Every structure is written in C-alpha cells, then in structure tokens.
Chain A
Amino acid sequence: MSANPIFSRRAFVGGLVIAISLPGCKPSPKSSGELKVIEPNAWLRIGTDNSITFLCDKTEMGQGVYTALPMLIAEELGVSLEQIKVEFAPPGDQYINNLIGGQITGGSTSVRDGWEKLRKAGATARHLLVSAAADEWGVDPRSCKVANGVILSPQFKKLTFGEVAEAASKLPAPKDVPLKPASQFTMIGKPQRRKDTPSKVDGTAVYGIDVKLPGMLYAALAQSPTLGGSVKTFNDEKARTMPGVVAVVLTSSGVAVAADSWWRAKKARDALTIEWDAGPNAALNDAKITQMLRKGAAGEGRVARNDGDAAAAIKGAARVVRADYELPLLAHATLEPQNCTADVRADGADIYVPTQVQQIAQATAAKAAGLDPKVVNVHTTFLGGGFGRRLEVDFIPAAVEVSKALKKPVKLVWTREDDMTHDAYRPPAFDQVTGAFDAKGKLIAWNLHLTGPSITSRMFPSVTEKMVDPFAVEAAANYPYDVPNVHVDFQQQEIGINVGYWRSVSHALNCFVAESFMDELAVAAKKNPYEFRKALLEKQPRFLKVLDMVAKEAKFGYPQRGHFHGLAVMEGYGTYMAQVVEVSLDTGPNAGKIKVHRVWCAADCGQQINPDTVVAQIESSIIFGLSALLWGEINLQNGRVQQTNFDSYRVARMTDAPRIDCYVIDSTESPGGIGEPATALVAPAVCNAIFSGTGRRLRSLPLSRHRLA
C-alpha cells in the first residue's frame, strides 16, 4: 500500500481508515478531550473539532487544483469551500493518477482524474457521517439533510461532522454511493475564489525556495557547461577559505558549495576552478541537430494512425501539396529556479521540493541517500511554475548528497543561468506533411511524417517498448478533418541531449504543422480558411460549435484596417478549441515586427469546475505559447546552451500581452483538460494571419528568426 510512514500506522477496517492522533495533528485549544481525526479515505481527514482537511494529491503550480479539487469534494460532502483546509498529499499508491499510472501532476489530467474519485470520496464520507447521525437519532439516514458540515434531522435536530466523526469511523464503508446529477450541482460550475490567492498576495505562500529548517545550510552547484559532461578535476582552495563556506562537496551532478547563506555559497561556487570532461556532446550544435533530424526523417516511423491508403491516394491524386516544418528546442523557464531542500539522517530523510512527481522524487532522493524509500518523506510545496519542468528530478540528488555528507539540512538553489542551461528542453522537430486533392478539388489524403527525439522513451521506456510515443503524436493522430486517407507516423531520432515534457507537449509541435498546413491546403483549394475547415468538420459537432463561435465573435475575415486574422482549431486533452488572432506588421522603427493585438478563444472543455480558472488557464496558455512563438529558441554551441537568462531567452511581458477574449461552452460532458491546450493554437493562428497579410508562409519558429519587413 503506502510507502510513507505517516500512513503505515493506519488500520484498515472494511475500507475505512481510522487514524487517531496522527503525527503532526495537535489538539485544538477548544477540544477538551483528545482530538480525534478520522480518515474516511485517502483524501479526507475529519476532526472531532469539525476540521476538514483535503489531502491534495495533485501539485498546485498555478493551474488551480488547490481550489478545483476541493470543490469536487465539497460538492458531495456538503460543506462550504472555506471549511476545507488543503494540504499537499505525501507520496503513495493511493494517489496514483489513473490517467497516467503514477502520482503525477501533468497532461492536464488533474480534474479528469479526480472527477469521479474525489466526488466519490466526498460522497462516501458524507454517507458515513449521515449514517452515524441517523443512528444516534434513530431515523432513516435518507431523511437527513446536510449543509455546511452540519447534519439536520427531520425533527430539526443538529449534529456537526465533528460530533459524529468518531461514530462514523466505526461504520462499514458503503459499497456504492450515488453521485449528484449535474442538475443538482451547487458548487461545480459556479465561480469560486481561488483558495491560494490570499497567501499569494501577501508573500506568505511557501514555495520550495522559501523552505527554512533549523540549522540549515545553503548550497550552490556548479554543473557541466556542456550538456552531459562531468567533473574531471576541481580546485576548491580559494572557495573553501571564503567567508561562510562550510564545505565543498563533489556530487553526482557537479561540485556543490555549502555555506551559511546562499549568496556566500554562490560566490564561492563561482570561485571554483573545475576541469570538465565535456562528454559526448562536445561538438553538438544547432546545425548538427537539424542535420540529424533531416537525415532521420528518411526512415519509416512508427505508425500512429492509418486510415485508408494515404500513399496510394497521394500517388493517384490530381494535385499534391507538400511542406516541411521545423521547430527549435525550448526551455521551460519557470520563474522559480529549480531547488530542493534535503534533511538526510542515518535512519531517514525529509525532502521539501517543488515537484510534479512525488513518488519519483521519493525514489530519487532515497537512491541518492542510500535509504529505503519508505523512510524518505516528501513534502510538496507550492510551485513557482511547473509547465512540465518539475516532472524532472535532476535538482534533487545533489541536495540529498550534500545533506548526507554534511549531516545537516541543506537547501540547494540553482541560479537562473543554471536553470536556463540545464533544462530538459522541448524537443525540436522536423516534420513533413503532404495533402492531396482529387480532380474535383476534394481533399482525399493527409500524411504527416514526424521526426524528433522521444521524451517518453527516456521517462517511461516501458510505454515506448510497446507502442509509438503517445506524447509525440498528439494533435496529429487525432487529425479531425473528414479525409478518407490519413497517415501519421513518428520517426524517433535522438539528438544526444535530454528532451522534456513542455506545456501541451507535442500538441504545440504538431498543431503548428497541422493547422498552418490546413491554411496552405485552403489556399491551394482557393477556399476561405474558415469555410474550408468547416466543410471538413461537418461530422464533428463539438468542433463546429467552437469554430463557429470564435469566427462569429472575432468577425473572422473582417479585421481592423491594416490588421490580419488567422485561425486554428485543435482537440487536446478532451477539450475542443478554436482560436482567432488579430495581428499587424509594424511599419515604424520596428519594421517587420509582429504585434498580436487580440486573441479570441472558444473552448468546449465539457463540464467546467471553476469557470474563472478555466478562463485563466486559457489566458495563461496563450501567453505561454506566444512567448515561444515570438522568441523561443534554445541554441547549442559545442554542447553548451547559449541562452542564459531572460535577456537572451525573451518571454512575453505586459507590453506584449494581447487582449484575450474567451468563450467557454456550457456543457455537462465529462471534463476535459484546460491547463495546456490553448498553448498550441496561437502559433499556427498567428502564422496564418501573417500569411494573410504578407503572403509569406512561415514554416519554422520563432518569428524572431524571420525578417518580415
């Protein structure tokens, strides 16, 4: 069951967990006797003091799970959102994300994974509490009502959850508790204030970088400037004599300096003299990567979709359109640099870490400490941005190794430069796409041959042993248009460095190709891009709805004078989306510079939980996609990343932010993911607008590479 010692003391009674006086639970001042806390399931603790704690099994990195997930509980439990206190859950199999297969926050799955199980968790707890109250009153539980954590009998007697908690813990768990139909929702779908906002406007929210333990040392780390390199020899003579320096430790990730303040640790780190073994990437550069991908593209990839016979249809077609698209490496650039605080002792360890992968973090720390994972506690903090970067655990081992060596708690913090030059970058791509028309001008074939490195083959090799990397063919394998012959394949071509999951993963790569090319096909067919898509989406009602909605709201095709419109659509994470952008080409001193003035986005993400967060995530994703589109690229020279900080890796600022208008379809379909999809549409939509304005088709990004004047 659980690997965490906090949970090993639990007694399982008919599926009901009773944990009396959990470690860390102090009796509240009001309680006369001993505070007792029941755990009706892995997500809930209900105290005899009426406290209700939700153990949030997903990481809060801005996407709003700290609010949306307790909403799912509150809806069925019968409490207000304010009554629920949120804590981050420890690692444990009970928190495995059913959509991914590990305790992972990613893939826009948090609400989808919790949709049934968290409502059931709330409903089950409510059933037990109401049954206990009904037993005490000798009434039918079905005659009782619940509001704000108070149970009301038909005779208007009242018992609080806390008053019946202990009795409830002795009842057998119900087998199947019915869930409310959508028509009875009182909280789901109604805008709620984010529970984490207050602590994020007064500076009290604790991120990994803010953790402070008694007797803690601070550490800075020198890592190989060449990706994949290692330490050959180092001289720490000067560093060791610098003020505040406690020790210099050779770790598996590089040379770390521990000191009594981070600033002193960093200064001493900069004073180290290190001779590096550059390793296998010593000669790696952008041109080599491009060459590897283009060469690799000659191979036949693993097939992700095969309808009809695209090759034959293309061969016999009246007209064939072909294009190659290329995308660069990208950094995540979370604003909080990577960090980890470790307290390693002989008999166990605690790590405090902003992570999207609690179990992998635990296993990684345990291995670095030489301890059994069972004695390694993982404490998840708020994340200063995730975007997939913190699915990686490369910042954990060094902190653990230094703490182990010095027998003291250690907080290891990367600089921005460390972070920018040691990311697991978004994979580059070289993609070849072909469309074919018959003599009547009907689109009869679509073939997309993708080439690039596979993230999943490194992260979850068991998956790619059996099948094509599912996170390489998104927004391609689900090509939505009504075309009889469709073929999609992915040719894996490694490039020597680690690539990682980056917000919306392959959607952002493949949607750029598919939706840019859709406009190329529309041009070939001499059709309006909106009409061309609409005709091929007739059998896709959810697509049609968002397409029509966004076209209408944006008055697609009728931009302001001197401005241009572009369009893109996509389904990702079970969410249907269409975006229109309005751009202009600067003719002033910044001649050729693209300005994105407005973005309209229509989305059908099924049942919304917290509608304001849905809008916030669309806004956020669009800005994230915009940064990548305008300037995002990581360049390599001799295996070294050339971008080091926000001067050389530019991201969108207030002045770059367009007005964004969102239109979210009211729906009771199962929830779709919303944290990522909008990221992917903005690049093709803007490139389609640029084509509309200039007649130039841009098939590579970022735009800063192209001179448009």
Chain B
Amino acid sequence: MTKLNVNGNAVEVDVDPETPLLWVLRDTMGLTGTKFGCGMALCGACTVHLDGQPVRSCQIPVSAIGDKPVTTIEGLSKDRSHPVQKAWIEHDVPQCGYCQSGQIMSASALLEAKPKPSDADIDAAMAGNICRCGTYQRIRAAIRRAAEIKSGRA
C-alpha cells in the first residue's frame, strides 16, 4: 500500500509502485479532472501541484511522492472560487476544455510564485501546456485578471 496526501486527504492506494501519479489519481482515486495527453511531459494536461510546485503527474511514479501534499484541480477550491478559476470563467477561456485543468494548475502555481507576472513570466510558466483550441490569448488575459483578483483589486 502507498500512502498519499491528495487534496488534503490522507489516502492509501494499492498500486504498483512505478505507476505514474496520473493514473493513480484518475483510475484508482477517480479524480479524472487531471488529464492524459501525451505521457511524456510534453503537453501539460496532467499538471498537478506537488508540495505547491507544478509537476507533470504522468512522469512521477507514485512511490516517489512520499508525504508531499498533492493538489489536483478538484482540490484547488471547493466551489470554483480560486482567483484563477474566477478569471477563467470571466474570460470564458475554455473551448474543448481538455487542457484547462493543467493550464489552471500551471497558472495558479505561477501566481503563488509571482503575484504580478510579466509577459515573459507567463510565457515561461505556461510554455509546457498545450492548448489545441488555441486559447492562449485568453489564458494570458485571464492570468492577468487572476492576479488582480488575488491581490484584492477585484
């Protein structure tokens, strides 16, 4: 059994230790908000927070997690109240929406590290997240908006 701390809950999962975190989240725990896109850390659809840092869950064996807390899109807020989610709704960012959990997890980690990100900061933080619907312009605008919401400039 592997012990994990996911979205604030301590859980035990019976999986092969080399199983990537992504598949434990999706298939074992039913947290399907985190998506499979490439399996090679190229697309970012599987991005979650590990100890607050954005990571590609398709590349991390579950045995490597230890007691570091994992946060998925389901744990970002209970009611879509995270500033990034609010801004995403305001800008109607998603189209097909498949990449958006990963985009939101990358964006929320960026704003924790840099509350007022520059364009270059946004480029660097978001470059690993592919959106085939090409919502990049809205993502950029929504990150700026989320920064405002977060700093209380609602």
Task: Report the Cα distance A210→B35, complex, angstroms.
Answer: 9
Query: Does A372 have its Cβ within 8 Å of any Cβ on chain B?
Result: no
Q: Which residues of chain A come closer than 8 Å to B57, judged between CB atoms?
A: none
Flag if B30 contacts A212 (CB, 8 Å). Answer: yes
Residue ID in chain A nearest B101 by CB atoms: A203
**In the complex, A654→B143 CA distance in Å?**
12
Say yes or no: B96 contacts A61, CB within 8 Å: yes
- Is A202 a contact of B42 with CB atoms below 8 Å? no
Interface residues of A in 378-419 (CB under 8 A from B): 382-387, 413, 415-417
Interface centre among A201, A203, A205, A413, by most chain B C-beta atoms within 10 angstroms, is A201
A208 to chain B, nearest CB (A): 10
Residues of A contacting B101 with CB < 8 Å? 203
Contact flag A261-B19 (CB < 8 Å), given A203-B74, A616-B138: yes
Within 98-113 of B, Cβ neighbours of A (below 8 Å) are at: 98-101, 104
* Min CB gap B16→A, angstroms: 6
Q: Inside 8 A of A622's CB, which chain B residues have their CB?
A: 134
| CB-defined contacts of B126 to chain A, threshold 8 Å | 653-654
What residues of B have a CB within 8 angstroms of the CB of A194 in the complex? 92, 94
**Distance in Å: Cβ of B23 to nearest Cβ of chain A:** 4
User: Measured between C-beta atoms, what is the minimum distance from B7 to chain A in Å?
Assistant: 11
User: If A210-B32, A382-B96, A386-B96 touch, does A657 touch B136 (CB 8 Å cutoff)?
Assistant: yes
Any A CB within 8 A of the CB of B68 = no
Out of A198, A206, A218, name the residue touching B80 (CB < 8 Å).
A198
Chain B residues, Cβ within 8 Å of A385: 96, 98, 132-133
Tally of contact residues, A, Cβ under 8 A: 63
Bitwise, B51-63 to A at CB < 8 A (1) or not (0) is 0000000000000
Residues of B within 8 A of A87 (CB): none
Residue A642 interfacial (CB < 8 Å):
no
Interface string of A99-132 (1 = CB under 8 A from B): 0000000000000000000000000000000000
Q: Which of B23, B34, B85, B99 contacts A335 (CB 8 A)?
A: B99
| B-contact bits for A179-223, CB 8 A (1 contact / 0 none) | 000000000000001101111111111110110100000100000
Q: Which of A333, A335, A417, A651 contacts B96 (CB 8 A)?
A: A335
Number of B residues with CB within 8 Å of any CB on chain A: 59
CA distance A62 to B98 in the complex (A): 9
Tell me, yes or no, whether B139 is within 8 Å of chain A by CB: yes
Contacts of B128 in A (CB 8 A): 653
Q: Could you tell me the distance in whole angstroms from the C-beta of B65 to the nearest C-beta in chain A?
A: 15
Known: A646-B43, A647-B42, A653-B130. A203 touches B72 (CB 8 A): yes
Q: Are B88 and A335 in contact (CB under 8 A)?
A: no
Judging by beta carbons under 8 Å apart, are A616 and B92 in contact? yes
In the complex, what residues of A have CB within 8 A of residue B37's CB? 335-337, 416
| Best-surrounded residue of B37, B39, B80, B126 (most CB of chain A within 10 A) | B37
Partner of A201, one of B16, B20, B36, B85: B85
Binding site for B on A (CB under 8 A): 60-64, 193-194, 196-207, 209-210, 212, 218, 243, 261-264, 333-337, 382-387, 413, 415-417, 612, 616, 619-624, 626, 645-647, 651-655, 657, 659-660
* 18 additional contacts (CB under 8 A) given A335-B45, A385-B132, A620-B95: A62-B94, A62-B96, A196-B97, A198-B89, A201-B88, A201-B93, A201-B94, A218-B27, A243-B16, A261-B27, A334-B98, A335-B35, A416-B38, A622-B134, A623-B133, A647-B40, A653-B128, A655-B123
Q: List 6 A-B contacts (CB under 8 A).
A: A202-B74, A335-B37, A620-B135, A622-B134, A651-B132, A654-B140
User: What 7 pairs between A and B have smallest CB-CB spacing?
Assistant: A203-B33, A623-B134, A384-B98, A200-B97, A62-B95, A62-B96, A657-B136
